[in-house]
Amino acid sequence: MTKLRLAAAGLALTVLALPTAAAAAVQLGHPDATAYPTIRVSIVSPAGASVTPAITEDGQPVAGLQEQNLGKIKAISTLIDRSQSMHGKPLTDAIAAARTFVGKKNGSDQLAVIAFGSKPQTLSPFSTAGLDATESLTGMTADKVQGTALYDAIVVAARQLKANELPGRVIVVLTDGADKGSKHSIDDAIAAARQANAAIYAIGIEGTGFTPDPLIEIADKTGGQYYGASSTSALAAVYAKIADTLKRTWRVQYLTAARPGDRIHVEAAVVGHGTVTNVFTVPGSPPTDAAPSKIVPKGAYGPGGPLGIAALVAFLVLLATLFTFAGIRGSWVRSRISVHVGETRVTSKAARKQKRLKMLANVFRMTEKLFGKLAVWSRVSKMLERADVPLRTVEFFWIEIGAVVVAFVLGTLIGVAIPLVLALVVVAGSIPYVVVWMKMRKRLRTFEDQLPDLLITIAASLKAGHSFKQGLQAVVDEGHPPANVELRRVLMNASLGRPMDDALAEMADRVGSANFEFAITAVTIQRQVGGSLASLFDMVADTVRQRQQFARKIRALTAMGRMSAYTLIGIPFFIAAAVTLLNRSYMRPLYFTTTGRFLIVLGLVMMGLGSLVLKKIVSFRG
């Protein structure tokens, strides 16, 4: 009797150990070549997310490898059968099990709920909030119309997942019977799931007359698994198994070097847990010109082919560089001796350069003809003049166009999302304008600081018996830029016959200083009505200095308000950058969902309005 008990215990341990051993092995799903040359495959690893599987094809490392662990962030579409056969306890148990599954999901996972009976119905769109899915499950009832649109529900879920930005995509479908009444076939459902790169995990309530073959086929061909439940009471345990399997599952895709019709060996290796190989034939017919070229050496088709081509390209680049430097050296020598031997190469080069400049001038002329009458064109021209930037308005316009084009091309090449590309274009287009504007403001502040000393110098010159023009010349000789530069231009205009009042008024408009305009107005009035010009300059200099001191005092008193504005504007960007660096998945819903992008735009608009209000509060116009 004792021996019999020992034998039974040993048999029981063996039976229990078999599933454990099976679960401990690396599992490689059926490869999918729907998006050829991209090969997709699912790998179930005992190591879970801690060890990344190594993938090889025919013993060679693969190119373009992308691996996504489904235990991390993912999008899950939960499909629940609510047909008439699920009425009562089966549907209640299914809802309770699904709610438990939803409650244990990762906080960053996006989850949607789709119920299907006679037709599919989306109860809850993708959301990271588990409460949305839980509330939609609570109100679910059995369908009053007969039918089980299983394949239609899978197609709807696949289309929604295809539009989702998360790389990990899963469909969990629960049903108690075969499809009845779908407009799509099982092949359509499999194709839709493959196009969305979604793995289907199917749960079948195996009652009387139930056939699991369609669900097994769907799960196998999409990289998922099939789970059978003997009763609805076991659904909670099945959902728990799926959650555990997802933590150990990797969705892998890479670019294959095989051609259609080739037979390949895909191998997955996990350190410490072994390897597994799947033999797979790439679908499609082999190309008719499969024979190797007679021109290309046979060795180029082997592993050393790319290395040889790279070496050849490097050699050609080196050769071209040497020829370029040799040509430059020869051109330099010829240019030095051309004057002595009578060659006209320099003249021809100058002619070609002049021709290119003429073409560029024609482009500039057409641009000025199209946009020269716009008000913004004149404002930019005045800004360039006030900043003392040696650029014409049309040249600055094409610099802006070049910055925008380069930013757009760069953003498109690196695959940035369209809203970020637009933001990059706006930033790139703003940089030249901001640089010129800051230079203009700096030059204006420098001139404002020099203005009281400039007026006192003119007054001193007038008191010494010199004329007004000689007083201006004293500022030109003894002053510093930009005041002496601008006054030198005034004297030059006056020497060419322009009235002094007009030249000074033009300088006031060109510089953009309100204080200097005030001083010029006073001088113009005095020159018309008479009086002591030196005393007037002393009085204006004292007034300007008092205005500047008062403005500085106001700026000091409003410094705390300005700093508060800078802090309130900068904190959101700092927090967003810090959280993104620390936990990138936490911020993905904000960056890669429609709701998140809407919130970003809304936040930026509100920050802009708040900045204008704060600027109005702390600004002072004296």
Write out pLDDT tens, residues 435-463. Answer: 999 999 898 888 888 888 888 888 888 88
Over residues 466-517, the pLDDT tens digits come to: 888 888 888 888 878 888 888 888 888 888 888 888 888 888 888 888 888 8
- H-helix or E-strand spanning residue 278: strand 274-281
Question: pLDDT per residue over 62-89, tens digit each?
Answer: 888 888 888 778 888 989 988 888 888 8
Contact criterion met (CB below 8 Å) for 411 and 420: yes
Angle of CA points 479, 481, 486, to nearest 5°:
90
CATH superfamily, domain at 441-548: Type II secretion system (T2SS), domain F (1.20.81.30)
Q: Which residues contact 320 (CB under 8 A, 6 or more apart)?
A: none
pLDDT of 438 reads: 92
Q: Cα separation of 92 and 94, whole Å?
A: 5
Contacts of 377 (CB under 8 A, 6+ apart): 371, 393
Name the pLDDT band for 15 (thresholds 50, 70, 90).
very low
Q: Is beta strand 75-81 parallel, antiparallel or unpaired with respect to 110-116? A: parallel
Mean pLDDT of the chain: 80
Residue 38 · residue 253 · CB < 8 Å:
yes
> How would residue 55 be classed by pLDDT, with cut points 50, 70 and 90?
confident
Q: Are strands 110-116 and 120-127 parallel, antiparallel or unpaired?
A: antiparallel
Q: Would you list the domain boundaries of the chain?
A: 21-67+248-280, 72-246, 308-360, 375-432, 441-548, 559-618
Asked if 281 and 262 touch (Cβ cutoff 8 Å), the reply is yes
Segment 362-385, tens digit of pLDDT? 777 888 888 888 888 888 888 888
274-281/60-61 β-pairing:
unpaired
- Measure the CA–CA gap between 53 and 267, rounded to whole angstroms: 10
Give yes or no for residue 14 having a pLDDT over 50.
Answer: no
- 419-429 pLDDT tens trace: 777 888 888 88
pLDDT at 598: 87
| 280 phi and psi angles, rounded to 5 deg | -140, 135
Average pLDDT over residues 259-281: 83
Using CA atoms, how far residue 448 sits from 252, 298, 470, 538, 543, in Å, is 66, 78, 22, 16, 13
Sign for the pseudo-dihedral over CA of 474, 478, 484, 488: positive
pLDDT at position 286: 65
**Residue 353 confidence (pLDDT):** 60
Q: Region 278-293: what's the mean pLDDT?
A: 68
Residue with tokens 């930019």: 380
The predicted pLDDT at position 489 comes to: 87
- At 346 the pLDDT is 46
How does strand 274-281 pair with strand 263-270? antiparallel
The residue ranking higher by pLDDT, 185 or 421, is: 185
* Rounded CA separation 479/495 (Å): 20
- Tell the CATH superfamily of the 72-246 domain: von Willebrand factor, type A domain (3.40.50.410)
Cα 503 to Cα 248, 485, 490, distances in angstroms = 81, 14, 5
Per-residue model confidence as pLDDT tens digits over 214-224: 899 898 888 88
**122 neighbors 116 (Cβ within 8 angstroms):** no
Peptide linkage before 482 cis (omega within 30 of 0): yes
Q: What pLDDT is recorded for position 582? A: 86
Residue 594 in 3-state DSSP? helix
Q: Are 27 and 252 in contact (CB under 8 A)?
A: no
**CA separation for the pair 212, 202 (Å, rounded):** 9
pLDDT (0 to 100) of residue 406: 87
Tell how many helices (H) and how many strands (E) occur in the chain: 20, 14
Using pLDDT thresholds of 50, 70 and 90, give the confidence band for residue 171.
very high
**Residue 488 · residue 521 · CB < 8 Å:** no
* Residue 278, beta-bridge partner list: 266
For residues 110 and 177, the model is more confident at 110
More confident position, 136 or 186: 186
User: How many CB atoms within 10 Å of residue 502?
Assistant: 13
Q: 157 pLDDT band (50/70/90 cuts)?
A: very high
Question: What pLDDT sits at residue 325?
Answer: 59
Residue 16: predicted pLDDT: 41
Portion of the chain with pLDDT greater than 90, in percent: 5
Report, as an integer, the average pLDDT of 242-267: 85
Distance CA 78, CA 102 (A): 9
Q: Tell which residue, 194, 255, 197, 205, has the closest CA to residue 230.
A: 205
Q: Predicted confidence band at 93 (pLDDT cuts at 50, 70, 90)?
A: confident
**Predicted confidence band at 357 (pLDDT cuts at 50, 70, 90)?**
low
Statement: 21-67+248-280 belongs to CATH 2.60.40: yes
Per-residue pLDDT at 155: 92
